[in-house]
Amino acid sequence: MFRIFRSASITSKVIPSVSASCSLGVEFRKSYPKSGPLSKVIRHHCGSIVSVAGMDGVKPVTVQNGNVQHEFHRNMTVQNGNSHHDTQRTFQVVVAATRNLGIGKDGELPWKLPSELKFFKEVTMTTSDPGKKNAVIMGRRTWESIPVKSRPLPGRLNVVLTRSGSFDLATAENVVICGSMNSALDLLAASPYCLSIEKVFVIGGGQVLSEALNAPGCEAIHFTDIETSVECDTFIPQINFSVFQPWYSSQPMVENNIRFSFVTYVRVRNNSETEHPDTVGNGETTDQHLQMDKFDVEKFSFLPKMIFEKHEEYIYLNLVQDILKNGAEKNDRTGTGTLSKFGCQMRFNLRQSFPLLTTKRVFWRGVVEELLWFISGSTNAKVLQEKGIHIWDGNASREYLDSVGLANREEGDLGPIYGFQWRHFGAEYTNMHDDYTGKGFDQLMDVIDKIKNNPDDRRIILSAWNPSDLKQMALPPCHMFAQFYVENGELSCQMYQRSADMGLGVPFNIASYSLLTCMIAQVCGLVPGEFIHVLGDAHVYMTHVRPLQEQLQKLPKPFPVLKINPLKKDIDSFVASDFKLVGYDPHYKIEMKMAV
């Protein structure tokens, strides 16, 4: 048993049936509904059952040499109770489980979660084509756990799996019976179901889920993650995370003292043999490693529309689209011109995946090395240049420094920018070579200390904005202010960015502060929660309009998963090789020129 359904009441139909036998040992049970299409249930002599639901236009069933052949699909036969077909229907699993993968207790659900039942109904009932419906596959015990007045589940084709020859079904409309998962998937791949059924969902019970969860035909798993400890006696196997990655994860919610969230995993690989490369370390990821990390699945339109559109990359893409359509034309410091919108927010869930954009390739190694450079307190652009990171070259050049009144500054010396303010706020800045150990206020260590010792403090702040130092900076901080928040063992970060270059800078900034949040969480013995990105002047440079229009044509792929060396507990001890990005297979790089 997997799920107790408490759906809205519907009226069951009691339908008289007439049986006829043939000498080949096949019994045809013809059930005639009071209204609607004819239902034909075929019982094979071995006791396993295959069923054909009544639908208008279904051709007759014939018996040849003891085998049942469905004339409505030329490539499908049923032999000894097992159907065979060239292609089977793929399917998606819907399941609620605890952290130790418990799904039931004493044949019932050990929780009552109205939002979970609502989610289940929406996922399994919603179709893109109003002329179609979805199918739900369940075991016999799951079917019997549904209150009589509520079955079959309305608005869906109910497929019940049973090998019991004595199993009888009074209702016929919208119900079919099959002897196995394979026979059900074969049946749904054949006419008329291939034309009338949009998506197939496996919903329980335990044995059926164990067979389906990691089967090759499983495209997605809609998982209700029960975070609160609940005693169970029925369990499902572990999801194979070498082939499945998160697509969407909701914010946690609490009902009836149970904390839970919804996570959808999608299949990205056909098997688990692919190894994932370490995408940081000695230089840029090699072409070979990129190929190893490439998904077998390229499009994810098989997801229900309501789930597909919940991918958090759409938060960024929709904001870009809004600015391109409605942004105010403004001049700017660089003379390039922008389309601008003021006061925006994006939220990214860090609990299951890492928000590195996929509609274009983001320079992950640059994100890691720059953040480590900030944490070190360095202001020397040459440190990054020596590692092949050139994102600060434009603001560190001789020409640029002279243009902003810093002619006395050595080339590469960016002044008291981010890292200096994080680690030495208030110290007098001289040049990039001097040792500032013990000078100024170390904001980063103060943040970590407060999170560890006073997590409810509302003053856990990291600020790069120091008005007295602005004129000494090659570029005043764009991402200038971060506040950290602790709840339920999770660390979240909200960052305010005064100036947000949507095309080039913001994808980098999302990844950088998400990574910082994950690092600080590990140092403080917490897990990552959310990254909230607040944008002041969110703008698109005129030179980025066409590249962004190109990017908007791309469909998101699953965000990667971030792995951090668990042995590192000191914020100053991290090196690039401590970070492993699993499953990053973005679209190609889109060139955008930096406005200086």
Taking the C-alpha atoms of residue 161 and residue 183, their distance in angstroms, rounded to an integer, is 9
What are the two backbone dihedrals, phi and then psi, of residue 18, each rounded to the nearest 5 degrees? Answer: -125, 130
Tell the residue number behind the tokens 């005043």, with chain if given: 476
Strands (E), 212-292: 218-226, 234-235, 244-249, 253-255, 258-267
Residue 103: both structure tokens together: 């799904």
Which residues are CB-neighbours of 196 under 8 A, at least 6 positions away? 55, 132, 133
The secondary structure of 347-359, three-state, reads: EEECCCCCCCCCC
CA 117-122-128 angle, to 5 degrees, is 165
Task: Tell which residue, 174, 205, 190, 178, has the closest CA to residue 77.
Answer: 190
Tokens (6 digits) for 556:
């998101």
- Residue 104 CA to residue 2 CA, distance in Å, equals 6
Answer whether 173's CB lies under 8 Å from 155's CB.
no
Is-cis flag, bond preceding 16, omega within 30?
Answer: no
The answer to whether 154 touches 219, Cβ cutoff 8 Å, is no
- Contact indicator for 312, 514 with CB cutoff of 8 Å: no
Neighbours of 438 (CB within 10 A): 8
Can you say how many angstroms the Cα of residue 42 is from the centroid of all Cα atoms in its chain? 41
448 φ, ψ to 5°?
Answer: -65, -40
User: What residues are annotated to the active site?
Assistant: 478
What is the C-alpha to C-alpha distance for residues 313 and 587, in angstroms, rounded to an integer? 13
Residues 300, 305, 311, 314: is their CA dihedral positive or negative?
Answer: positive
Cα–Cα distance between 27 and 25 in angstroms, integer?
A: 6
Closest CA to 236 of 140, 97, 108: 97
Instruction: Output the six-digit token pair for 341.
Output: 């919108």
Token match 């947000």: residue? 500
- CA 507 to chain centroid: 18
C-alpha 9/C-alpha 30 separation (Å) is 27
Largest CA distance in the chain: 103
Distance (Å) of CA 450 to CA 133, 143, 456, 458, 461: 54, 53, 9, 10, 10
Contact residues for 222 (Cβ-Cβ < 8 A; gap 6+)? 92, 93, 94, 95, 119, 123, 201, 262, 264, 307
> How big is the CA angle at 525 (ends 524 and 531), to the nearest 5 degrees?
70
The two three-digit tokens of residue 521, written as one number: 């969480």
What are the angstrom distances between the C-alpha of 320 and each of 317, 389, 499, 516? 5, 26, 15, 24
